[in-house]
A and B are shown apart, each in its own frame.
Chain A
Amino acid sequence: MDDLLREFLTESAEHLDTVDAELVKFEQDPNNETILRHIFRLVHTIKGTCGFLGLPRLEALAHAAETLMGRFRDGMPVSSASVSLILATLDRLKAILADLEAAGTEPAGGDADLIDALERMSLGEAAPAPEPVLPEPVVRELKPGEVSLEDLEAAFLAAPGPDEDAFAPPPAPVPAAAAPRAPAAKPVAPEAAAPKADVSRSDVSTPQAARPEKAEAAPAEGGEAGPVKVQTIRVNVDTLEHLMTMVSELVLTRNQLLEIARRHEDSAYKVPLQRLSHVTAELQEGVMKTRMQPIGNAWQKLPRVVRDLSAELGKQIDLVMQGAETELDRQVLEVIKDPLTHMVRNSADHGLEATAARVAAGKPARGTIRLSAYHEGGTITIEIADDGKGLDLAAIRRKAVERNLASQAEVERMTDAQVAKFIFHAGFSTAAAVTSVSGRGVGMDVVKTNIETIGGIIDIATNPGRGTVFTIKIPLTLAIVAALIVRAGAHRFALPQVAVLELVRVGADAQAVERINGSPVLRLRERLLPIVSLTGVLGQGSGEPEAQAAGFVVVAQVGRQRFGILVDEVFHTEEIVVKPMSAKLRHIPLFAGNTILGDGAVVLIVDPNGVARQVSQGVQGAAAQAEAEAAEAEATEATTTLLVFKGGGGGFKAVPLSLVTRLEEIDASTVEWLGGRPLVQYRGRLMPLVPADEAIAIRSEGRQALVVFSDGERAMGLVVDAIVDIVEERLDIEIGAERSDLIGSAVLRGRATDIINIAHFLPLAYDDWARGPKRPVETATLLLVDDSAFFREMLSPVLKAAGYQVVTAGGADEALAALQADPRIAVVVTDLEMPGRSGFDLVAAMRGGDRRLAALPVIGLSGAVGAETVERARALAITDLVAKFDRSGLVAALAEIGAPALARAA
């Protein structure tokens, strides 16, 4: 393949990409002549060159497309169908170009279909077109680099191609001279001038746009060669890469020289060396610059993608792009291209709601995806924001627990941002349940991996109903980074400085590293920081001899995960040239590459992402184990999930998890005292705090753990010393506590644990809690049947709070007696699994009894709601089935039975 052809291929590919993007813009703004002219010119260039190189197939296609665009230019209305047709033509052109690149010749075949369609489109609607064509509204001196319309026309006509009759008489610029005098045209002029100025600017500043016309259009278009000289040249990427490698070597050599000069006092070297150092630095910067490309290059295809998606999904989508001129290393650009496309696709597909849903939610019908990029320090920040529905965090929480990614307790305590991160877990996103509910994420794990391979980080912020923002931070370049040189064991390693937050000295005479079950942690400003020792993760740790860890902790942050890396010694920071790992070693996730230091030694570059993964894998392993244990426990017995906490005098207390709304850790300084009672602002409301035991004092500093209970709009924070665990165990309560704040005690995980009585605490928080804030059916009496005194005790206050008079019974017989005795009973809540006569027997007896009992609504409580249970329940006309510990479900079910039924019964 000759050079001319090769050059043509690269340029045409670029042109076509630009045309793609421009056409989409044009479709939205059909009156923008600047865009149209730009497109026209690009397509024309392709056509011209094809003729020149003897590529008839390409030329014919380009010609047909050009003709249709000529019609647009002459004022034919722009329809979506016609733009689609042109886009299809461009796709065909690209396909032919690809074949051309592979084979060196134009592939055989015809394009009569497209050409026919194009011609029909241009002819069919051309007939009514020749009304007075939109005159050129602007008459002014051409700026340098601009081409007058006449020149352009001349160029078009001069270009090879049988287009004589396809063209309408060229819209002579002559009428334009009259235009400024026409009153209507006058206000248009300044507006139209602005985009023109834009064109000329972009011609100079963005080489992509300018280069093609300048460098290559020359043979076809004499008029194109304006007064602007050729400012750019095309350089082979390999040449640049080689240059970069050589500069890297130079940097290394300079570092070596500096190292030597440091050891020798001979000052004769100092000055020239200093000079060499500066020149090298500048050279390095200059070469780096040649590798820089505007991020817009990676965005080029997006308008087209969004347009197609928008048509396909039937959503109206605006794509807003800001900061397309932000430059970054081409290597980085290559890597983020696909993830970006993927994420924009995701935002359009899942992030944005359907138009109808948007309107219903009171949002503008057109969804917006905003893509922005800007420099920030040594990194580039890219944001992809949509104004869609946001992530369904509840579903993600649920899914995370289901998939054993975190335990219930952890998930409860996590912030929304942490929860959102679960979508990056491999396989998480692909799970059908989450994608259909939460909407996000096929392949988000791949996106994350891609971004992490170039040392980038990705973050999510989501706002329910308002949208989701993905933030990507990536380094400007991969080639040279600042790194901290550290020693671990016998060897030195380099740690990229972007991930390093601070250094903390630890050891006998400084701060000590503490251990929890062997896992080292460090107290850092009142927070615990998990620590890994570098020798440990590298598998060089010699067992457990480092009881007294000494050295430095490098505090690193990856995404939102913060952890410490324990190293033995910290030397200095150095600009290092990152060399890729050998293919034989690339599978080791802990290394990002290697480099040669000033003294000539090879050191490995530790990948903070890899270390972070190791840190969290340890955590996950433990969590999974706990889950497995829990699952095992569940299998053997019907169990209750209890939240265990420390409260008062070091004793353990527990409360059924089902009653708990959330676990919180608040900053103790946010506790306020009003009228002698502690309060805290919680989710925009005031929440009273009640200590779980008299012995607990609310902390005045540091973190305070809370167990939040809520009921409708009210919430109460139970102050505890520390949340210990969530256990799932069979509950054998020994009732008998004399204290009203305790139901009794039980043995949980081998520890005597007090089970607290929430009913005791709720009134302490709100005097009127027991009375209930709203009681539509105050007089309704409810019979609660459960063989377990504990559950009777537990549920009674809840039901009372919901506004019922509660009568309890410990078994079916007792319940029947109570029903006979108390005609006020309007609804029955019964445990279905009871020893002796079960709940089903009770209901069966009721249904067989007198009319009042037979018609009574019944809610069944069941530990396991299986198909069989549902079947039986239906047969007995049980109104609703509720899982045994689902307190809110029970209240909701009661509310559903509703006032009418109860009132009637009452």
Chain B
Amino acid sequence: MQAANANGAETGPTEDFVTVHVGDTLFGLAIERVHDVFVPSGVTPVPLAPPEIVGLLNLRGRVVTALCLRRRLGLPAAGAGADGPGAGMAIGLEQGGETFALVVDGVGEVLKLGADSREAVPINLDPRWRDLTVCVHRLDGRLLVILDVDALLNFNVTGAEAA
């Protein structure tokens, strides 16, 4: 996928992002990290798990840990059972040989963006967000917050010591 990506970059250095939204905010994920887009169903909650983890689900015979972007970002749960099964979409991500599902409100299009619209992370952002963001792109009428996938999945600091 990466190779194809590099070839497709004809007009200056551009990057592809899968856009997702949570609430009113639009987020972007580097396309080479996105393995899947699917509707999460049959999520089995894990008692005693960190709050970010929604549960486990069966993705074509693999057990996938689902985590909620909303909770990860410290956003309040959306009114109409946004993190219940069936609500929204999920992005399949991989890290360290494990598959994770990032549950979001919705998935948008794939955008090809160049460096011209790229901005550094505003310093006044919530520290929690700042740690999870790579940069921000200015789009027509709205902003696209690019998320750092590794940082997103790296939240088990508290659990590690217990283990």
Contact B61 A253 (CB under 8 A): yes
Distance between Cα atoms of A582 and B50 in the complex (Å): 12
Within 8 Å CB of B58, what residues of A?
596, 600-602
Within 8 Å CB of B96, what residues of A?
583
Contact A587 B159 (CB under 8 A): yes
Question: What is the CB-to-nearest-CB distance from A480 to chain B, in angstroms, rounded to a whole number?
Answer: 15
- B contact residues vs A (CB 8 Å cutoff): 42, 44-50, 53, 55-58, 61, 63, 65, 67, 96, 98, 100, 153, 155-156, 159-160, 162-163
- Which has the most chain A C-beta neighbours within 10 Å: B53, B63, B100, B159? B63
Give residues 250-268 of A contacting B (CB, 8 Å).
Answer: 252-253
Within 8 Å CB of A840, what residues of B?
none
Q: Quick one: closest B residue to A250, CB to CB? A: B61
Q: Quick one: closest B residue to A586, CB to CB? A: B163
Give residues 559-587 of A contacting B (CB, 8 Å).
Answer: 579, 582-587
Within 8 Å CB of A901, what residues of B?
none
Within 8 Å CB of B155, what residues of A?
584
A590 adjacent to chain B (CB < 8 Å)? yes
Within 8 Å CB of B53, what residues of A?
584-585
Partner of B46, one of A252, A583, A585: A585
Contact A596 B61 (CB under 8 A): yes
- A contact residues vs B (CB 8 Å cutoff): 249, 252-253, 491, 538-540, 579, 582-588, 590-591, 594-596, 600-604
Within 8 Å CB of B57, what residues of A?
602
Contact B61 A584 (CB under 8 A): no
The answer to whether A588 and B56 touch (CB under 8 A), given A249-B61, A600-B42, is no
Contact A539 B61 (CB under 8 A): no
- Interface class of chain B by DSSP: mixed
Distance between Cα atoms of A594 and B56 in the complex (Å): 9
Within 8 Å CB of B42, what residues of A?
600-602
Contact B48 A582 (CB under 8 A): no
Contact B48 A596 (CB under 8 A): no
Question: What is the CB-to-nearest-CB distance from B100 to chain A, in angstroms, rounded to a whole number?
Answer: 8
Distance between Cα atoms of A538 and B57 in the complex (Å): 19
Distance between Cα atoms of A585 and B47 in the complex (Å): 10
Q: Quick one: closest A residue to B95, CB to CB? A: A583
Distance between Cα atoms of A594 and B66 in the complex (Å): 14
Distance between Cα atoms of A582 and B63 in the complex (Å): 9
Q: Quick one: closest A residue to B161, CB to CB? A: A587
Distance between Cα atoms of A540 and B46 in the complex (Å): 10
Partner of A604, one of B44, B61, B153, B160: B44
Within 8 Å CB of B49, what residues of A?
584-585, 588
Within 8 Å CB of B48, what residues of A?
538-539, 588, 590
Distance between Cα atoms of A603 and B156 in the complex (Å): 22
Question: What is the CB-to-nearest-CB distance from B29 to chain A, in angstroms, rounded to a whole number?
Answer: 19
Question: What is the CB-to-nearest-CB distance from B19 to chain A, in angstroms, rounded to a whole number?
Answer: 25
Question: What is the CB-to-nearest-CB distance from A867 to chain B, in angstroms, rounded to a whole number?
Answer: 42
Contact B44 A601 (CB under 8 A): yes
Within 8 Å CB of A588, what residues of B?
46-49, 159
Contact A594 B47 (CB under 8 A): no
Distance between Cα atoms of A586 and B55 in the complex (Å): 13
Contact A491 B98 (CB under 8 A): no
Question: What is the CB-to-nearest-CB distance from B4 to chain A, in angstroms, rounded to a whole number?
Answer: 26
Within 8 Å CB of A586, what residues of B?
159, 163
Q: Quick one: closest A residue to B47, CB to CB? A: A538
Q: Quick one: closest A residue to B154, CB to CB? A: A584
Q: Quick one: closest B residue to A600, CB to CB? A: B58
Within 8 Å CB of B47, what residues of A?
538-540, 588, 590
Within 8 Å CB of A596, what residues of B?
58, 61, 63
Distance between Cα atoms of A617 and B49 in the complex (Å): 20
Write 19 A-B pairs (CB below 8 A) sorted by A numbering: A252-B61, A491-B44, A583-B156, A584-B50, A584-B67, A584-B159, A585-B46, A585-B159, A586-B163, A587-B156, A587-B162, A587-B163, A594-B63, A601-B42, A601-B58, A602-B42, A602-B56, A604-B46, A604-B56
Q: Give 14 new A-B contacts, CB below 8 A, not counting A538-B47, A584-B155.
A: A249-B61, A252-B61, A253-B61, A582-B56, A582-B98, A582-B100, A584-B67, A585-B49, A585-B159, A590-B48, A600-B58, A602-B44, A602-B56, A602-B57
Contact B156 A584 (CB under 8 A): yes
Question: What is the CB-to-nearest-CB distance from A413 to chain B, in angstroms, rounded to a whole number?
Answer: 33
Within 8 Å CB of B67, what residues of A?
584
Distance between Cα atoms of A143 and B42 in the complex (Å): 63
Q: Quick one: closest A residue to B155, CB to CB? A: A584
Question: What is the CB-to-nearest-CB distance from B129 to chain A, in angstroms, rounded to a whole number?
Answer: 20
The answer to whether A585 and B65 touch (CB under 8 A), given A491-B44, A540-B47, is yes
Within 8 Å CB of A539, what residues of B?
47-48
Contact B63 A602 (CB under 8 A): yes
Distance between Cα atoms of A601 and B67 in the complex (Å): 17
Contact B65 A582 (CB under 8 A): yes
Distance between Cα atoms of A252 and B58 in the complex (Å): 12
Question: What is the CB-to-nearest-CB distance from A494 to chain B, in angstroms, rounded to a whole number?
Answer: 11
Contact B160 A587 (CB under 8 A): yes
Distance between Cα atoms of A594 and B62 in the complex (Å): 11
Distance between Cα atoms of A579 and B42 in the complex (Å): 17
Within 8 Å CB of A584, what residues of B?
49-50, 53, 65, 67, 153, 155-156, 159
Q: Quick one: closest B residue to A540, CB to CB? A: B47
Within 8 Å CB of B61, what residues of A?
249, 252-253, 596
Query: Which 8 pairs show the lowest CB-CB distances between chains A and B?
Result: A587-B163, A538-B47, A587-B159, A582-B65, A587-B162, A602-B56, A602-B44, A584-B156
Distance between Cα atoms of A601 and B61 in the complex (Å): 10
Q: Quick one: closest A residue to B61, CB to CB? A: A249
- Which has the most chain A C-beta neighbours within 10 Å: B44, B47, B48, B55? B47
Within 8 Å CB of B44, what residues of A?
491, 594, 601-604
Distance between Cα atoms of A503 and B38 in the complex (Å): 40
Contact B46 A579 (CB under 8 A): no
Within 8 Å CB of A252, what residues of B?
61
Distance between Cα atoms of A600 and B58 in the complex (Å): 7
Q: Quick one: closest A residue to B160, CB to CB? A: A587
- Which has the most chain A C-beta neighbours within 10 Å: B42, B61, B67? B61
Distance between Cα atoms of A600 and B62 in the complex (Å): 10
Question: What is the CB-to-nearest-CB distance from B99 to chain A, in angstroms, rounded to a whole number?
Answer: 9
Question: What is the CB-to-nearest-CB distance from A284 to chain B, in angstroms, rounded to a whole number?
Answer: 16
Distance between Cα atoms of A600 and B160 in the complex (Å): 30
Within 8 Å CB of B65, what residues of A?
582, 584-585
Question: What is the CB-to-nearest-CB distance from B46 to chain A, in angstroms, rounded to a whole number?
Answer: 6
Distance between Cα atoms of A803 and B159 in the complex (Å): 65
Distance between Cα atoms of A585 and B42 in the complex (Å): 18
Distance between Cα atoms of A579 and B65 in the complex (Å): 12
Question: What is the CB-to-nearest-CB distance from A238 to chain B, in angstroms, rounded to a whole number?
Answer: 12
Partner of A579, one of B45, B63, B100, B163: B63
Distance between Cα atoms of A321 and B87 in the complex (Å): 60
Distance between Cα atoms of A540 and B61 in the complex (Å): 28
Within 8 Å CB of B98, what residues of A?
582-583
Q: Quick one: closest B residue to A488, CB to CB? A: B47
Question: What is the CB-to-nearest-CB distance from B66 to chain A, in angstroms, rounded to a whole number?
Answer: 10
Distance between Cα atoms of A579 and B64 in the complex (Å): 11
Contact A491 B63 (CB under 8 A): no
- Which has the most chain B C-beta neighbours within 10 Å: A253, A587, A602? A602
Question: What is the CB-to-nearest-CB distance from B160 to chain A, in angstroms, rounded to a whole number?
Answer: 7
Within 8 Å CB of B56, what residues of A?
582, 594, 602, 604
Within 8 Å CB of B63, what residues of A?
579, 582, 594-596, 602
- Which has the most chain A C-beta neighbours within 10 Å: B53, B65, B100? B65
Within 8 Å CB of A604, what residues of B?
44, 46, 56
Distance between Cα atoms of A289 and B127 in the complex (Å): 53
Within 8 Å CB of A491, what residues of B?
44-45
Distance between Cα atoms of A540 and B48 in the complex (Å): 9
Distance between Cα atoms of A591 and B63 in the complex (Å): 15
Within 8 Å CB of A540, what residues of B?
47
Question: What is the CB-to-nearest-CB distance from A252 to chain B, in angstroms, rounded to a whole number?
Answer: 6
Q: Quick one: closest B residue to A535, CB to CB? A: B47
Distance between Cα atoms of A636 and B6 in the complex (Å): 78
Question: What is the CB-to-nearest-CB distance from B95 to chain A, in angstroms, rounded to a whole number?
Answer: 9
Distance between Cα atoms of A776 and B136 in the complex (Å): 98
Distance between Cα atoms of A579 and B58 in the complex (Å): 12
